[in-house]
């Protein structure tokens, strides 16, 4: 049996062909904390403690999955978003920090306006946007849609586990008949697919081989496809002074801004904490 110290160092070393040293270190710590229930300092004090048979088996399973470039969040079955623990699997994208910033922008805006809007989350995935927004703004009404049955099952479980009252509906937003299932809203929020299928070779294996392609890629070569549909939908279904919040691909941020402006929206774009233009707010 390995001990705690040996387990950490073995895993970190094994991961370094796939990840840089910092990432390998962080992933190894996450696995070891989940396995032992001890944080970094506590494990340092107990580095000679041997794995139990159960821990050794779990360690071996996790290591084997990680070496196939499976993201650590899928190995653990969970990811943190804001202060909440979300269940994740390969039916949903892994929640990312820039999406947290988008939600923060939306939440602050609603609190400032002191309204109780009806909100639509398009392409909800794990439910991280809709569930977190509902938990932060208990008085709002939120409908969340996705094309994937698997994603909706994950989102519904997260809403139940975290105590968020969100209505989920299966919608293929690319189909007009499905869009017509949706009602009228005060705010639309979305982190839509924006990577052309032809650019999939640019992605790291841990994304390309494991995260759901339906949530990553747009059909064909148009990275603005979903933004165009969302803008048109907003013109039809947003109430007066309605708002759209979208996460952006930094490479197409200006083009997306110009798209919304061409359809009559007033648009503000923002950078994330890394300095990349990743968020848009459009108002009628």
Q: What is the pLDDT along the chain (284 residues), one digit of tens a residue?
A: 999 999 999 999 999 999 999 999 999 999 999 999 999 999 999 999 999 999 999 999 999 999 999 999 999 999 999 999 999 999 999 999 999 999 999 999 999 999 899 999 999 999 999 999 999 999 999 999 999 999 999 999 999 999 999 999 999 999 999 999 999 999 999 999 887 766 665 666 766 666 677 766 778 788 999 999 999 999 999 999 999 999 999 999 999 999 999 999 999 999 999 999 999 999 98
Using CA atoms, how far apart are residues 63 and 70, in angstroms rounded to an integer?
10
Polymer length in residues for the chain: 284
Residue 268: what are its φ and ψ, rounded to 5°? -125, 135
Nearest Cα to Cα of residue 77 among 154, 149, 192, 163: 154
Q: pLDDT > 90: what percent of the chain?
A: 87
pTM of the model: 0.92
Q: State whether residue 166 is helix, strand or coil.
A: coil
Residues whose CB falls within 8 Å of the CB of residue 226, separated by 6 or more in sequence, listed in order: 122, 123, 173, 190, 192, 193, 194, 218
């Amino acid at each position: 049996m390995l001990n705690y110290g040996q387990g950490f160092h073995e895993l970190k070393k094994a991961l370094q062909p796939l990840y840089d040293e910092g990432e390998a270190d962080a992933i190894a710590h996450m696995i070891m904390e989940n396995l032992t229930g001890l944080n970094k300092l506590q494990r340092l004090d107990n580095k000679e403690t041997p794995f139990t048979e159960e821990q050794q088996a779990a360690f071996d399973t996790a290591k084997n999955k990680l070496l196939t470039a499976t993201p650590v969040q899928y190995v653990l079955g969970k990811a943190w978003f804001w202060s909440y623990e979300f269940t994740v699997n390969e039916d949903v994208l892994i929640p990312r920090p820039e999406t947290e910033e988008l939600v923060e922008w939306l939440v602050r805006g609603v609190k400032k306006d002191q309204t109780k809007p009806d909100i639509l989350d398009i392409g909800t995935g794990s439910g991280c946007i809709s569930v977190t927004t509902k938990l932060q703004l208990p008085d709002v009404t939120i409908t969340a849609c996705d094309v994937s049955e698997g994603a909706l099952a994950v989102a519904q479980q997260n809403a139940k586990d975290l105590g968020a009252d969100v209505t989920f509906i299966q919608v293929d937003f690319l189909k007009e008949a499905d869009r017509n299932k949706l009602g009228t809203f005060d705010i639309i929020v979305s982190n839509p697919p924006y990577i052309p299928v032809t650019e999939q070779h640019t992605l790291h294996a841990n994304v390309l081989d494991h995260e759901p392609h339906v949530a990553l890629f747009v059909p064909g070569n148009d990275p603005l496809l979903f933004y165009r549909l969302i803008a048109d939908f907003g013109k039809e279904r947003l109430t007066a002074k309605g708002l759209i919040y979208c996460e952006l691909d930094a490479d197409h941020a200006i083009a997306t801004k110009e798209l919304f402006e061409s359809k009559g929206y007033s648009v503000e774009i923002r950078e994330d904490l890394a300095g990349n233009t990743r968020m848009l707010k459009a108002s009628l």
